[in-house]
Amino acid sequence: PVMQRDAKLLQKVHGFDHMKFEDLKVSIDPAYDPEISIEDSKNYIYNALGILGDDYLNMVQAAYDDRWIDFAQNKGKETGAYCASPYASHSYVFISWTGKMNEAFVLAHELGHAGHFNLAQSHQNFLESEASMYFVEAPSTTNEMLMSNYLFESSNDPKFKRWVIGSIISRTYYHNMVTHLLEATYQREVYRLVDAGETLTASTLNDITRKVYQDFFGDAVEISEGAELTWMRQPHYYMG
């Protein structure tokens, strides 16, 4: 699999004796961390998402110009990024902006949620405007892929192109394709046990998760103690 090859490449580049589960998202070049201004992020995202049409681009423009996005780093502000989309209003995006290029990916992702819910709410009533949590990440993932393609094609800098490829593998591909595939495999086994009338405990779920990881990564990655607890991390599966 691609992730086994990627893991072995990262191990070689960084000189690791063993490639461990917690190292899978390490940057291929930690010393290279491109920066970007808020205004430039707007231009990149606007150009990258142009294929989605004028209505979508108007939403992106409004998100920046009308202050839908909270960029400030404030004490007590939640880490990461989030998009809230109350019905009959525009979306609100929360992010603690530090000026790193990877945050342009994050913004494109959150604007994917904003575009999704703004369009859904404009065509659906209040009771029918919410998407299932199983599908809610599809528009945001699409934006990340469009963003990565645009950044890669618009640059002639080999180092930057390598950063884009590394970022898309460690972020979008790993999380949205690989992780969700593994979680689906885990879920299939969980449902098999439920259908067979078996009792599920945290220990059982840990064992299933560890086996899924070991079968997928083979000898390329050492599945560290604690990796089996990651079945707890994804709230989407418990929210309907």
Residue 99 falls in which region: left (phi positive, over 0), alpha (psi -120 to 50) or beta: left
CA angle 3, 136, 182 (to 5 degrees): 30
Amino acid 152 reads: F
Residue 211: name the closest of 196, 235, 192 by CA.
Answer: 192
Structure tokens at 10: 């990262």
Length of the chain, in residues: 240
Residue 85: name the closest of 61, 110, 56 by CA.
Answer: 110
Contacts of 80-87 spanning 24+ positions with Cβ under 8 A: 81/106, 81/107, 81/109, 81/110, 82/110, 83/110, 83/111, 83/113, 83/114, 83/117, 85/113, 85/114, 85/117, 85/118, 85/121, 87/121, 87/126, 87/129
- What separation in angstroms does the CA of 117 have from each of 65, 71, 78, 208? 19, 21, 22, 35
CA–CA separation, 164 and 153 (whole Å): 10
Q: Could you give the dihedral angle defined by the CA atoms of residues 7, 34, 116 and 73, in that order, rounded to the nearest 10 degrees?
A: 110
CA angle 165, 166, 169 (to 5 degrees): 85
CA–CA separation, 136 and 158 (whole Å): 34
Q: What pLDDT is recorded for position 73?
A: 92
Q: What pLDDT is recorded for position 22?
A: 95
The total of other beta-carbon atoms located within 10 Å of residue 108's CB is 24
Low-confidence ranges of the chain (pLDDT < 70): 236, 240
